[in-house]
Amino acid sequence: MIRDALLALGVAMSYATQLGVPGLPLGYGELFIAIWIMLAIGRILAGGRLQITPAFVQLASFWLLLSLALGIGTIVGYLTTVLYLTGLMHDVMAYVLLASFTCLAAAEPDADRHLRRSAWCVVAFANGAFVIQLGLAYGAIHQSGVDPWFWDRFRGWSENPNQLALYCALFGPLALHLATTTRNPWARLLAFSCLLLTFYVGRLTKSDTYLYTSILSCLIFIGLRLRAWIAASGRASMPRMAAILLLAGSLPLALAMTPYALTEETSVANFAKNLTKDEGGEGTIETFELRLYLWQEAVEKGLKSGSLGLGPGPHLERPPVADRQFLQRPFEAHNTVLDLYLQGGLLAVIALVWIGGAAMCFAWRGGFDALLVLGVSTIIFSMPHLIIRHPIVWFSLAFCLVAGNPTALRRQLAESRVS
């Protein structure tokens, strides 16, 4: 239980980059994960057994493929361009840390139970930390060396609001999964309460990506639950018949309402703009221009490398559209697929798509709708951001892979959902 809580602390605190460990070049999240890895290795050296599960095979295969791709990319980068040692070492250490904790977690005996306990701790620790950060933001408490605001956007303990928004986007579906798969009503209430607080913090970040992710995730989850509810019984009960008729009539109803919706086009557009971080103004335009420039440069530079990559670390020059942001070089593409394409080429991208697809398939096979939403949220957030180095992403993928295995715990959770 202590090791599960330690892993959860590492995952839940990984975004807190403003809180550095004194005397060490790493944050508290990385420190807790490193301690967990050492304890897991110590357990194995002391005679503890490992369990070769499908999830472990998938994760180990992915990291081997990624290591091969990054090694080839490093050779190509060394021969054709200038490699920045700081960025290279930073990414290598991050990948080693992530590969170690995901593979060890998946190979633990009763990995599903351990990861589920860790997930509960992640949600609890994260929301406890959110309460403290909100107290800092509204002046109820003070913490030296921490500025919870980035202009008018909430960032809490993180370096920028987008980091915090990513964690909120994944903490939410994780809490939703725990809420919908537990038999304990008090635990269900706690999970739903954490979900509401997480959504509130996520909206304070004013991240457009978080907004889109939340809307799409909510719609997908409702659709999945409605599908499961209709198919749960062969009996044609009145509520199910009403739901089927509502779904059947939704398309013609939408078509009939189209002329009226078009007359309110301006109001709808204004409403959508009001939801963005600066009401669709100059900041949104600058962000779009920056992303577009970086993506084009990433594709061109990746093709010049022969789709073999250039090794770990950022590889793009500072774009002219970012002069006013005083950002340093080199740049990242701010797109997970393109950044990985720059680092490890086409092989790395194929490996990433494969492991992400495997996690989604395992979650689907296990019948866990909220975990499918968790995978969708990860995919959506990966489009305008580089998220592959964040522990919450790999904890979520490992959780999906392990939860989809045909174990006693999965059968127990499935029975609880039916009842």
Burial of 240 (0-12, 13-18, 19+ CB in 10 A): middle
- CA-angle at 194, arms to 190 and 200, nearest 5°: 150
Average pLDDT, integer, range 19-27: 79
Model confidence band, residue 252 (pLDDT cutoffs 50, 70, 90): low
Q: What is the pLDDT of residue 268?
A: 39
Q: Does residue 247 surpass a pLDDT of 70?
A: no
Q: What is the mean pLDDT of the chain?
A: 82
Between CA 409 and CA 391 the distance in angstroms is: 24
Q: What is the pLDDT of residue 87?
A: 83
Average pLDDT, integer, range 364-372: 88
Burial of 350 (0-12, 13-18, 19+ CB in 10 A): middle
CA dist list (Å): 9 to 4, 216, 240, 267: 9, 29, 43, 44
- Write the pLDDT tens digit of every residue in 64-114: 999 999 999 999 988 888 777 888 898 999 999 999 999 999 988 888 888
Least confident of 200-209, 360-369, 372-381: 360-369
Q: Does residue 293 surpass a pLDDT of 70?
A: yes
- Write the pLDDT tens digit of every residue in 113-154: 889 999 999 999 999 999 999 999 998 888 888 899 998 899
- Write the pLDDT tens digit of every residue in 43-62: 888 888 888 888 899 999 99
Average pLDDT, integer, range 17-35: 86
Between CA 409 and CA 187 the distance in angstroms is: 17
Tokens 């080693």, residue?
A: 96
With pLDDT > 90 as the criterion, what percentage of the chain qualifies?
Answer: 46
Within a 10 A sphere around the Cβ of 117, how many other Cβ atoms? 17
- CA-angle at 296, arms to 316 and 390, nearest 5°: 60
Between CA 67 and CA 90 the distance in angstroms is: 15
Q: Does residue 414 surpass a pLDDT of 60?
A: no
Contact indicator for 169, 390 with CB cutoff of 8 Å: no
Between CA 123 and CA 9 the distance in angstroms is: 10
Between CA 339 and CA 218 the distance in angstroms is: 28
SS3 labels along the chain: CHHHHHHHHHHHCCCCCCCECCCCCCEHHHHHHHHHHHHHHHHHHCCCCCCCCHHHHHHHHHHHHHHHHHHHHHHHHHHHCCCCHHHHHHHHHHHHHHHHHHHHHHCCCCHHHHHHHHHHHHHHHHHHHHHHHHHHHCCCCCCCCCCCEECCEECCCCCCHHHHHHHHHHHHHHHHHHHHCCCCHHHHHHHHHHHHHHHHHHHHCCCHHHHHHHHHHHHHHHHHHHHHHHHCCCCCCHHHHHHHHHHHHHHHHHHHHHHHHHHCHHHHHHHHHHHCCCCCCHHHHHHHHHHHHHHHHHHHHHHHCCCCCCCCCCCECCCHHHHHHCCCCCECCCCHHHHHHHHHHHHHHHHHHHHHHHHHHHHHHHCCHHHHHHHHHHHHHHCCCCCCCCHHHHHHHHHHHHHCCCCHHHHHHHHHHHC
Mean pLDDT is highest, among 231-235, 329-333, 370-374, for 370-374
Q: What is the pLDDT of residue 233?
A: 56
- Write the pLDDT tens digit of every residue in 320-344: 655 544 455 667 888 999 999 999 9
Q: Which of the pair, 30 or 241, is modelled with greater confidence?
A: 30
Domain spans of the chain? 2-233+243-258+290-418
Between CA 182 and CA 197 the distance in angstroms is: 19
With pLDDT > 70 as the criterion, what percentage of the chain qualifies?
Answer: 80
- Give the list of residues 6+ apart from residue 365 with CB closer than 8 angstroms, or none: 404
Tokens 């939403």, residue?
A: 373
